[in-house]
Amino acid sequence: MHSRPFILLISGLALALLLVRGEPDWSGAWLALACFGLVASLGFGLTRRPLFSGIVALLVFGVIWVSARFKFGIMAMNLHVYDAMLYLPSWPQAQFYIATFPRPAMLTALTAASAVLILVLVHRVEKPLVVTPRIRLGLAGLAIMLTSASSTSFIGRNVDFFTPERSVFSAFFTSFSDLPQLVRFNGLIEVSASPSPGPPSISQIDCRPDKTPPDIVLALNESAMPPGIYPSLAYPKELAFLRQVTV
């Protein structure tokens, strides 16, 4: 492929742009680079096509960056591996996304079709290298060790959900450490250790004026983050009458 140097240059510039726009410090950038190498080495181990594997890794990072920006824009939360496990296999969630965000959904479909076309063309044009399985396993093992070493600086740092610096890749990849908890809960978040057997009886609910029921206002807003997480976050003054109540 005579155009390989040009494709590698464009891919390198695209990766550098993603890292600059997706990580606020070098520790996150090194982790992202290590994860990029891991994805590319796994693709190379399966296909023996280095250019194809690099483009696959670049597309994966592009999907992560766009998804993270989209989620942060509507929820002020980082992308988490739970999002992929919840939304990707769910057709009702896809229908909700299409109905609620039709233009982004159309762009997603067009981008996915273009990505598949590019991958098919590159896979057919690029010839596989003659590489022994031992070397391919060695490259994958080296990538795993580099990823583990790069993630040590994130031990004790909570970057999974909330970071004002918007750590895109480091937040997503470090969220994989939460998977054992998901497996331990069998895919569900435990809400109560002793749930009630059913709703209260209708006879127990009395809304007559002479009973003076308590005035309770419960506001649930999944897009409103506590002010302590983002120091620059400010709520409208009209909400000053709300007070947090711990039950």
Query: Full-prediction pTM beyond 0.75?
Result: no
The pLDDT tens digits for 116-130 are 999 999 999 899 999
- Of the candidates 144, 172, 166, 165, which has an alpha carbon nearest to the alpha carbon of residue 63? 172
The pLDDT value recorded for residue 200 is 52
- Helix H, strand E, coil C: the string for 144-212 is HHHHHHHCHHHCCCCCCCCCCCCCHHHHHHHHHHHHHHHHHCCCCCCCCCCCCCCCCCHHHCCCCHHHC
The pLDDT tens digits for 174-206 are 888 877 777 776 554 444 444 455 555 555 556
- Would the CA dihedral through 154, 67, 65, 128 be positive or negative? positive
